[in-house]
Amino acid sequence: MDELDRALIIATQGGLPLVSDPWAEIGGSLGISAAEVRRRLEALLEAGVIRRIGVVPNHYAIGWTANGMTVWDVEDGAVDALGAEVGALPFVTHCYRRPRALPDWPYNLFAMVHGSSRGEVAAKAARIAVLLGSHCRDSDLLFSTRILKKTGLRI
Amino acid sequence: MPELDAVDRRIIDDLQGGFPLSATPYADAAARLGIGEADLLARLRCLLETGVLTRFGPMYQIERMGGAFVLAALAVPEERWDEVVAAVNALPQVAHNYRREHRLNMWFVLATETPEGIAEAIARIETDTGLHVFAFPKEREYFVEMKLEARV
């Protein structure tokens, strides 16, 4: 990564130009050729600095109106094996282990679950509960009620 | 929100990744979707303007650039809600922010170019709001694939 890569990230983090040759437009603003823009984006994609290039939908607008963050207090000795299993469930979009914040927050396993209704999300959360079994001491389900910001990264 | 037709749904479902880095990317992506380039460009513009899409472009993984992502939460008193939303969203380091039903009612993701940037952003929010920021950095990532197809 050099300064030009950084400039390229800044030029594209808000989105790509909606014109036939977006690479030429980006290159024009950075003083490099369209081919150089493509070459560098390719390299960033290969290095994993770019996760993917495409559309980012608003979940609510495309029918996923119930979005729940399920959180679980799982025994420390069991959480990694179980976290991998929860993450492998087809309906879980993100699954992480995070630190507890006692006494306010006893949960160490977070899994995002989406649906068209709260009932659907709750049913999916119930399947996670079955999987965790007695290794889970406590849990909660936090529905999102509003997107307050969704700009993505801005460096 | 506008009604989506079958082509819009195909754009949403098939173009969440894999936008080509070819010389004529929109023409090539459009051909894959079975539509024309001008149609794809017009539809993307409309889907962005109406908020069906929040963005179209590369999704950067800041950790691969030496930066950091951290999930954080606040317990915001209801009577201060609007003021705190404005203060938190004003920080460019706040990439996403959601209201959730819980005593911790505001959940946001901080994305910073350096790991130290996270502590600075948290200190800034605590100073600006007078509220304690609960930080939940990830300790292990078991799965991430944020891809939901259109259901409408």
Which of A12, A57, A153 lies at the smallest CB-CB distance from B52? A57
Residues A39 and A73 in one domain: no
Taking alpha carbons only, the member of A3, A29, A2, A1 closest to residue A14 is A29
Domain that holds residue B18: 6-49
**ipTM for the complex?**
0.89
Per-residue pLDDT band for B78 (boundaries 50, 70, 90) equals very high
Residue A21 has pLDDT above 90, yes or no: yes
To the nearest whole angstrom, how far is the Cα of A138 from the nearest Cα of chain B? 15
Asked if A38 and A87 sit in the same domain, the reply is: no
Query: Mean of the per-residue pLDDT values for chain B?
Result: 95
Pairwise CA distance, residues B50 & A116, whole Å: 20
Q: Residue A77: list chain B partners with CB under 8 A.
A: none
B57 touches chain A (CB under 8 A): yes
The verdict on a CB contact (< 8 Å) between B56 and A55 is yes
- In this structure, the answer to whether residues B74 and B129 fall within a common structural domain is yes
B107–A56 C-beta distance less than 8 A: no
CB contact (8 A) between residue B16 and residue A49: no
A99: left (phi over 0), alpha (psi -120 to 50) or beta: beta
Residue A119's contacts (CB-CB under 8 Å, 6 or more residues apart) are: none
Residues A67 and A103 grouped into a single domain: yes
Whether residue A96 sits in one domain with residue A37:
no
pLDDT at B2 over 80: no
pLDDT at A151: 86
The alpha carbon of residue B35 is apart from the nearest alpha carbon of chain A, in Å, by 14
Does residue A150 sit within a domain? no
Q: Given this model, what pLDDT does residue B1 score?
A: 62
**pTM of the entire structure?**
0.89
* B71 and B45 fall within a common domain: no
Residue A95 has pLDDT above 70, yes or no: yes
Q: What is the mean pLDDT of residues A19-25?
A: 98
Rounded percentage of chain B residues whose pLDDT exceeds 90 = 88
State whether A42 and A66 are in the same domain.
Answer: no
Interface test with B, best of A5, A13, A16, A55 (most B CBs within 10 A): A55
The SS3 call for residue B148 is: coil
3-class SS of residue A44: helix
Which among A51, A62, A67 is the nearest to B59, CB-wise? A51
* Chain B contact set for A33 (CB, 8 A): none
| Per-residue pLDDT at A32 exceeds 70 | yes
How confident is the model at residue A117, as a pLDDT? 96
Q: What is the pLDDT of residues B17-66, one digit of tens each?
A: 999 999 999 999 999 999 999 999 999 999 999 999 999 999 999 889 88
Q: Which one of B48, B95, B148 has the shortest CB-CB distance to A152? A: B95
Q: Which domain CATH number covers B86?
A: 3.30.70.920
Is A71 a domain residue? yes
Q: Count the domains in chain B.
A: 2
